[in-house]
Chain A
Amino acid sequence: MQATTVANNADTDALRKLNDDYIHAVRTSDARRFREILAEDFLNTNPDGSLLDKAGFLEQIARPLALSNFEAHDVRIRVLGDAAIIHGRTSYTKPDGQAASGRYTDIWVRSDGRWLAVAAQVSRG
């Protein structure tokens, strides 16, 4: 029981760090970091409803971000065995200076002891 609790805390800590990296990589258009943390079969649903594979997502990420002050809040991490789900809220400043917010759900899978993102959905509002 004790060991399980400790393992779960370690998983939550690892996923919190990966979530920080994910948000930071969006902010800095860091496709290189994304290449490491996304599974080969990663799929992302964009706010406009388009569904991108890993290559399409990396292309999107590599473009300079049109938003500023992009941050995550209320990050909720759920570990379900070898899978994990992260629910979060985002806040950012639009190019016209207006404050805006969004939501995301990221899904991670542990593969060979390493967490990789397999799916994400991002929405605005």
Chain B
Amino acid sequence: MEARKLDQDAEIAALKQLNRDYIASAQNSDVRRYLGILAEDFMSTNPDGSLADRTAFLERIARPAAYSNLKAHDVRIRVMGDLGIIHARTTFTKDNGQAGAGWYTDVYARRQGRWLAVAAHYVVR
């Protein structure tokens, strides 16, 4: 029981770090880091309502971000066997200086011992 709790804590810590990397990579247009985070079958629902596969998502990421100070808040991580679900809010500064906010749900799957993002749904206001 204790071992299981420790395992769970380790999985949550791993997902917390991936979430930090995910946010930093969005801010820094870091396609290379995303290549290591996203599963081949990753699908993202974008703020404009489009559903992007991994290639389309990476193309979008490669463009310079039109915002700064992107941060995640109220990060809630749940592990259910080989599935991880992250709910969070974001804040950022738009290029025109206005404050922006958003929220997202990211889904991770553990494959061969490694967590990979399989889906994302994010919204900005």
Binding site for B on A (CB under 8 A): 41, 43, 45, 47, 49, 51, 74, 76, 78, 80-83, 85, 87, 89, 101-105, 107, 109, 118-119, 121, 123, 125
How many A-B pairs have beta carbons closer than 8 Å: the answer is 92
A-B contact pairs, 20 of them (CB 8 A): A43-B76, A49-B103, A49-B125, A76-B43, A78-B41, A82-B81, A82-B82, A101-B49, A103-B49, A103-B121, A105-B45, A107-B85, A107-B107, A109-B80, A119-B107, A121-B45, A121-B103, A121-B123, A123-B49, A123-B121
Within 8 A of A (CB), among B81-125: 81-83, 85, 87, 89, 101-105, 107, 109, 118-119, 121, 123, 125
Q: 1/0 contact trace for B26-44 toward A, CB 8 Å?
A: 0000000000000001010
B109 touches A80 (CB 8 A): yes
B51: Cβ under 8 A from any A Cβ: yes
Say what secondary structure dominates the interface of chain A: strand
Q: Which residues of B contact A83 (CB under 8 A)?
A: 80-83, 109
A41 touches B82 (CB 8 A): no
Q: In the complex, A102 Cα to B51 Cα: how many Å?
A: 11
**Contact residue among B51, B82, B85 (Cβ-Cβ distance under 8 Å from A103):** B51
Q: Known: A82-B81, A83-B80, A87-B51. Is A105-B105 also a contact (CB below 8 A)?
A: yes
Q: Known: A80-B118, A118-B85. Is A103-B103 also a contact (CB below 8 A)?
A: no
CB of A1 to closest CB in B, whole Å:
19
Closest 6 CB pairs of A and B: A105-B121, A121-B105, A121-B121, A83-B83, A49-B103, A125-B49
A87 touches B119 (CB 8 A): yes
**Contact residue among A51, A80, A102, A118 (Cβ-Cβ distance under 8 Å from B49):** A102
Closest residue on chain A to residue B101 by CB atoms:
A49
B118 touches A85 (CB 8 A): yes
